[in-house]
Amino acid sequence: MVFILCLLAGCSICWFNTVCYVLCIKHFQANRALALSLTVSFNGVSAALYTLIANAINPNDDTIYLFLNALVPLSTSGVALIPVLRQPPIQSLPADATRRDSIIFLCLNILAVITGLYLLLLNSLSSHVSKVWMLLVGALFLLILPLCLPGIAYAREWARRNFPSRFPSDNSSTFNLGLG
C-alpha cells in the first residue's frame, strides 16, 4: 500500500509540475521567468502544508501525511486537467498589460517568499495542537491570498472602463500601484 501511494504521489506531482512549466512557458512569454519562479517556489510548500494538516488532524498518525501526499496531487491534477485541455488560443498582449502582469507576478513572488518563510520558521511551533490550527489557518490564508491579486487588478481595470468619471486619470497626482 505504501508503494502504491508513493507511486501515485510521484507520478501525479511530476505530471502536474511538467504541465505547469509548459503552460508558463507557452502563455507568459514576456514574464516567463517570473511565472516559472512562482511555480517553482510553491512546489516546496506542499510538504510543509501536508505536515501542518496531518499534525492538526492527528499528530500521532504518520499515515495521514502519506495519504495527503498521494491523494492531493492526484486530485489536483484531475481537476486541473479540464482547464489545461480547454486552453484558449495564445494572444499577444499590449505593453501595458505585460507591465501589469509583471507587477502582479512580482507581488505573487513576494507572497510566495512570505508563505515559505511563514511555513519554515513557524512550523517548529507546531508541537501544541492549538498552535497547529492557528498555523494551518494562517498558511491557508497565505495560500488563498495570491488568488485575490489578479482578481483585484482586473476588477480595477473593469471599474475604470465602466465608471471612468469615478476614478482619477493616469495623469493625476494620486497614488498609483501600476496595476491599471
What is the gyration radius of the CA atoms in the chain, in angstroms?
20
Closest CA to 52 of 122, 4, 145: 122
Closest CA to 100 of 24, 31, 14, 26: 31
pLDDT tens string for the chain (180 positions)? 777 877 777 777 777 778 778 888 887 888 888 888 888 777 777 777 888 888 888 878 888 888 888 888 778 777 877 777 877 777 777 777 778 778 888 888 888 888 888 877 776 665 555 677 788 888 888 888 888 877 777 787 788 888 876 555 555 444 444 554
Q: What is the residue extent of each domain of the chain?
A: 2-164
Q: Model's pTM, two decimal places?
A: 0.63
| DSSP code for 126 | T
Residue 8's alpha-carbon distances to 1, 15, 69, 105, 120, in angstroms, are 11, 11, 9, 31, 26
CA dihedral sign, ordered 103, 104, 107, 108: negative
pLDDT of residue 173: 46
pLDDT of residue 175: 45
